[in-house]
Amino acid sequence: MTPLNDASFWSTTLRLYCQNSRLQECEDLIASVDELFSRWKRLFRNRSEVALSNRPYLIGEGRLTIGAGIPQIRDYAREHDDQGLKQALAAMQSKLSQAKSAMFSMAKSSVAGFNYFGSAEVLPSAKIPPKSVRPSSGAVIRIA
**Mean pLDDT taken over the chain:** 83
Question: 3-class SS at 107?
Answer: helix
The band of 39, judged by pLDDT with boundaries at 50, 70 and 90, is very high
The residue among 40, 47, 95, 46 whose CA lies nearest residue 73 is 40
Q: What is the pLDDT, as a whole number, of residue 124?
A: 64
| Residues 55-81: tens digit of each pLDDT | 877 777 788 899 999 999 999 999 999
- What ranges do the domains of the chain cover? 9-118
Question: 3-class SS at 59?
Answer: coil
**Are residues 70 and 39 in contact, defined by beta-carbon separation less than 8 angstroms?**
no
| Residues 115-129: tens digit of each pLDDT | 666 665 555 666 666
